[in-house]
A = this chain, B = another copy of it.
Amino acid sequence: MNLVATPAHLSTVSSTFEQDFSQRLHWSMEQDAAIEERVAAILADVQQRGDAAVLEYTARFDGLNAPDLAALELTQAELQAAFDSLPEGQKTALTEAAARVRSYHEAQKQATGQSWSYRDADGTLLGQKVTPLDRVGIYVPGGKAAYPSSVLMNAIPAQVAGVAEIIMVVPTPKGEKNPLVLAAAYIAGVTRGFTIGGAQAVAALAYGTATVPKVDKITGPGNAYVASAKKRVFGHVGIDMIAGPSEILVLADGTTPAEWVAMDLFSQAEHDELAQSILLCPDADYIAAVQRAIDRLLPEMPRAAIIAKSLSDRGALIHTRSMEEACAISNRIAPEHLEVSSRDPHRWEPLLKHAGAIFLGAYTSESLGDYCAGPNHVLPTSGTARFSSPLGVYDFQKRSSLIEVSEQGAQTLGRIASVLAHGEGLQGHAWAAEMRLKG
């Protein structure tokens, strides 16, 4: 097999650029009606029959039989044993990564997750109280996409937020457990875990069963069934984003070794044939050098077939008129991962409006961010960085407004409220304000 990776070579000066670019970018989350229907049935069944339904689906879909759901609970001893049995190098790496992720999220909580209040001239107290969620569920995929790093990235912000109970679900097809996933759960402070997955696990967390406690919010990635189930229970419980395929966009000024950039494009492409890797650069020679590096490095890659298909079907090397134009195009894409591979990244960063995470400078490979730099690797995909944010401590907190109106304040506010309430035809509202007016 002679694999080649042939990303589209585009140029912004071409008359067909807009068309070619749109075509390359196009991806839409298919809403498969058959999946939606099956998921709706599973949710209803688990809501009604609880443990028994979850057990049946686990037997049917994961080939895992158990006498009762309690038998599928992971004990803390089992999580700890998984950690203890890791090779020393993995144990250290996991521990250090967890410490860095924790430290970043503590800084995040300190910076933007604190209660606040003030008193205005009338003595009225206004503010917000920030409190953690009581109990959250974390979905961890099994099988080929079982990533211990995702356990850290979901559980640690919840723990830093102060969530008292973190319930992990992870399918273990045929009962095969991933020791790194269990070890990560141990390090990250997961409270309880169950080896269940799919829509049935989402349903168990959303509605609660005799064995699985109902949670307030469910986060974590999953397949189309999990995504559909999360979307359906949204409102009943909170959810994080529905993730699409992963993406990287590299803005290069041509000063980073071409091999580094090629490998960064690979590290996205190797995830999934649908993953998208794009390079934007004003230097045509550099683009050619990156393509040569791709050709040279591809045969050595263990996941070469996935990389070749991803780059050929969805990748693009785009020659731009300038770095400024490259920044503008990046804003249109609103990429999940954005590398500013430049000698002078701080010149370009202020121009970048929409991105999940921005990696500044040649040494900041996306993979460092994926594992251990500290920031979360759960990021908005498919252009949703236009309106959403990385997973964070704020996803595991909620706010309550605080209002304390003084007797004096009620005189000012009461008159305003009364006029507006009468204007809306809500006399009860008006009179409640008027009753607090003096004489």
Partner of A416, one of B264, B372, B414: B372
Would B404 and A360 count as touching, CB distance under 8 A? yes
Residue on B with the closest CB to A112? B112
Would A97 and B429 count as touching, CB distance under 8 A? no
User: Sorted from nearest, which 6 A-B pairs have the closest CB atoms?
Assistant: A360-B404, A238-B387, A93-B419, A111-B116, A357-B401, A375-B401
A147 close to B (CB within 8 Å): yes
Residues from chain B with Cβ under 8 Å of A366 in the complex: 432
Measured in the bound complex, the distance between the Cα atoms of B172 and A123 in whole Å is: 41
State the Cβ distance, A46 to closest chain B Cβ, in Å: 16
Residue on B with the closest CB to A97? B416
Partner of A432, one of B231, B236, B260, B355: B260
Measured in the bound complex, the distance between the Cα atoms of B345 and A205 in whole Å is: 35
State the Cβ distance, A261 to closest chain B Cβ, in Å: 9
Partner of A373, one of B364, B374, B405: B405
A223 close to B (CB within 8 Å): no
Residues from chain B with Cβ under 8 Å of A423 in the complex: 90, 93, 148, 180
Per-residue interface assignment for chain A, residues 398 to 414, with 1 indicating a CB less than 8 Å from any chain B CB and 0 otherwise: 11111111110110011
A61 close to B (CB within 8 Å): no
Q: Which of A234, A264, A394, A398 has the most CB of B within 10 A?
A: A398
A169 close to B (CB within 8 Å): no
Would A384 and B133 count as touching, CB distance under 8 A? no
Q: Report A77-133 residues with CB < 8 Å from chain B CB.
A: 89-90, 92-94, 96-97, 103-104, 107-108, 111-114, 116, 118, 120, 124-126, 128-131, 133
Residue on B with the closest CB to A435? B260
Residue on B with the closest CB to A110? B116
Q: With A113-B112, A386-B216 known to touch, is A372 a contact of B420 (CB < 8 Å)?
A: yes
A65 close to B (CB within 8 Å): no
Would B235 and A356 count as touching, CB distance under 8 A? no
Report the stretch among A18-26, A192-200, A265-273, A313-321 that lies at the interface.
Answer: A265-273
Would A303 and B420 count as touching, CB distance under 8 A? no
Would A149 and B424 count as touching, CB distance under 8 A? yes
Would B432 and A369 count as touching, CB distance under 8 A? no
Measured in the bound complex, the distance between the Cα atoms of B374 and A416 in whole Å is: 12
Would B371 and A420 count as touching, CB distance under 8 A? yes
A35 close to B (CB within 8 Å): no
Q: Report A329-374 residues with CB < 8 Å from chain B CB.
A: 338, 345, 349, 352-374
